[in-house]
Amino acid sequence: MKIAVQKDYDAMSLCAARLTAEEINKHPELVLGLATGSTPLGMYRNWIRMVKDSSLSFAGVTTFNLDEYLGLPPNHPQSYRQFMNEQLFRYIDINPARTFVPNGISPDPLRHCKEYDLRIEKAGGIDIQILGIGRNGHIGFNEPGEDFGQLTHVVKLSESTRQANSRFFPSLDDVPTHAITMGLKSIMKARKVILLASGEDKSEAVFRAVFGDVTESHPASILQLHPNCIFVLDEAAASKIPADARDWSLCMADTRP
């Protein structure tokens, strides 16, 4: 595991964008796993800028999103499909037919989960998986206690996750109680994982993911076992990470904290 620490959110976002853009430019038909939430938005904005200045193209890229709320149609304002359309896809040169998000209104969610895994396999597997991390250590919607051996599946959302996401809905009662998510086994199949974290409130979760026991009670801790994983953090999220654990060779073009 490598840990790249940048001075602030903007520098962190640029670092992550450069790391992924370099791989896409080397492998134009790369398969990319994407995440939603506020953390990757800065990286997405940098990708959009790179596409506009012709230094990056998504024309051959295939994407798979980590998760989707169960019960929300793709055009719902808070669906993750709508999020991706509004925050990234509409601004870049990607083929919409090669962008995949779990179907929150599938009539048979369990079957759909299996089909989603098969679609990823047919695409050749995920080359780079982008992740965020929750304060309780969840990645995707894999909450504490989730089986490390799960592939894509339906999960009941914890109250803490629903509370955290309630700011996007009229009230807590409107937040879905279940979601479809790639499982921890799905995530670990990716050839490379890049986890982004920003802010002091993520520092404990990040520390436990890097230095804590590998345990299902802290899902992100499984990433210690991944052969090619990079944490890209701002200084606040990395506040508990000792200096000797940080990899200064990554994103040297950015200002080091």
Residue of 68, 143, 146, 234 marked catalytic: 143
Residue of 46, 65, 67, 127 marked catalytic: 67
67 is an active site residue: yes
CA atoms within 13 A on the CB side of 70: 19
86 is an active site residue: no
Residue of 103, 136, 142, 165 marked catalytic: 136
Whole-angstrom CA distances from 250 to 6, 25, 38, 175, 206 are 10, 18, 23, 38, 18
Query: Helical H runs in 96-255?
Result: 109-122, 159-165, 184-189, 203-211
pTM score, whole prediction? 0.94
| pLDDT tens over the chain, length 257 residues | 999 999 999 999 999 999 999 999 999 999 999 999 999 999 999 999 999 999 999 999 999 999 999 999 999 999 999 999 999 999 999 999 999 999 999 999 999 999 999 999 999 999 999 999 999 999 999 999 999 999 999 999 888 888 888 888 999 999 999 999 999 999 999 999 999 999 999 999 999 999 999 999 999 999 999 999 999 999 999 999 999 999 877 875 443 33
The enclosing H or E element of 251 equals none
138 is an active site residue: yes
**What is 2-255's CATH number?**
3.40.50.1360
Q: Count of CB atoms within 10 A of residue 202's CB?
A: 24
3-state secondary structure (DSSP) of residue 166: helix
75 is an active site residue: no
- Check: CB of residue 186 under 8 Å from CB of residue 124: no
- Residue at token pair 């990899």: 247
Annotated domain spans of the chain: 2-255
Residue of 138, 153, 218, 226 marked catalytic: 138
